[in-house]
Amino acid sequence: MSRFSFDIEATDGAARTGRITMARGEIRTPAFMPVGTAASVKAMLPGAVKQTGAEIILANVYHLMLRPGAERIARLGGLHKFMNWPHPILTDSGGYQVYSLAKLRQINPDGVVFQSHIDGAEHMLSPERAIEVQRLLGADIVMVLDECTPFPASHDEAQASMELSMGWAERSKTAFEAGADHAAKAALFGIVQGGTYGDLRKRSAATLQEIGFDGLAIGGLAVGEGQAAMFEVLEATIPELATGKPRYLMGVGKPDDLIGAVRRGVDMFDCVLPTRSGRTAQAFTRTGPLNLKNARHRDDPAPLDADCGCATCTEYSRAYLHHLVRAQEILAPMLLSLHNLHFYQDLMAGLRAAISESRLDDFASDFLGALGSPKAS
């Protein structure tokens, strides 16, 4: 079996549904990856994550290199064994976390020197070190190191940032290929940068495709530019990407963001929103989000979502969930996170089926209409 393959099975407009095949399993696309930043999808057992329909999760270089350390995880048998997730794992190379979490950072052509947000210790993250950490973890899909371009940024600032990331991408590929045993069974994705500037996105896409990657991610979005601008960037970028390779929109997003991006040709997503919302008493439903802190739920015997088949919806009432939230019981974030991840995986399954049956426009219209959202057209 090839170490990595991507087969498109059906299209509907720009949208595609297909299948990524790797040694540890298949990933049906469009796919949503739950975020297991520090080797844990928060408030979820790995088996429960799988039962929601997830086929791949995301973990993070920045957090795992700081604690407990990539070398320690490698000695303990690698990330899959360490966290009891035998299925594919994509590792984010840490560029965004350095941008958003590090106390102090200095970016230069060699990489980033930063102080840990945990204890202030100084670290160096270079393209080569980012790849080394992902190799030690045993990641199935490896991401190049990039700089997350801040928003807003001038054209000159975005160009300088993009060009730095492109140099790092080439070095990342060289480092990835040097790890022959790991490279023989893993895949490497490049990351398109360029801020909100279509011309820079096109240049970045062309550079990455010349270097050559198994898939391409679109980074530097969902950082404050708004949905309309994000969709404009996707419309400028996606036609420049190879048809036969998966396209991954990083860090996105809300249900209407996902639908709009799928309609524009995106295949893969990740976002902390389902589990973060679950930990803050927010539940996604087919008729819109619910805040379980609200007193109106205290006498409500209805499930969160009558059309959802998850254990939270089939076994517990809104009244009980409201009680758990108000009592600050740990079961509340567990049950709400379970439901939210199930909701996201149901959405992905619905999108895949709609694309296969050439009814994506109707599916999107019905789903967004029920949410009360006119967006993502």
Instruction: For residue range 14-23, list pLDDT tens digits in order.
Output: 999 999 999 9
Instruction: Judge if pTM exceeds 0.85.
Output: yes
The pLDDT confidence band at residue 373, using thresholds 50, 70 and 90, is low
What is the CATH superfamily name and number for domain 4-271? Answer: Queuine tRNA-ribosyltransferase-like (3.20.20.105)
pLDDT above 70 covers a percentage of the chain that reads 98
Give the contacts of 342 (CB within 8 A, at least 6 positions apart): 52, 53, 308, 309, 310, 312
Give the contacts of 87 (CB within 8 A, at least 6 positions apart): 24, 25, 50, 55, 56, 57, 80
The pLDDT confidence band at residue 1, using thresholds 50, 70 and 90, is low
Q: What is the pLDDT of residue 336?
A: 98
Angle between helices 360-371 and 255-263 (to 10 degrees): 160
**Cα separations (Å) of 296 from 196, 306, 319, 327?**
42, 18, 9, 16
92 is catalytic: yes
The pLDDT confidence band at residue 2, using thresholds 50, 70 and 90, is confident
The pLDDT confidence band at residue 255, using thresholds 50, 70 and 90, is very high
The domain segmentation of the chain, as residue ranges, is: 4-271, 278-371
pLDDT digits (tens, 9 = 90+) for 67-102: 999 999 999 999 999 999 999 999 999 888 877 876
pLDDT at 301 over 90: yes
List 140, 214, 257, 270, catalytic entry: 270
List 92, 140, 256, 346, catalytic entry: 92
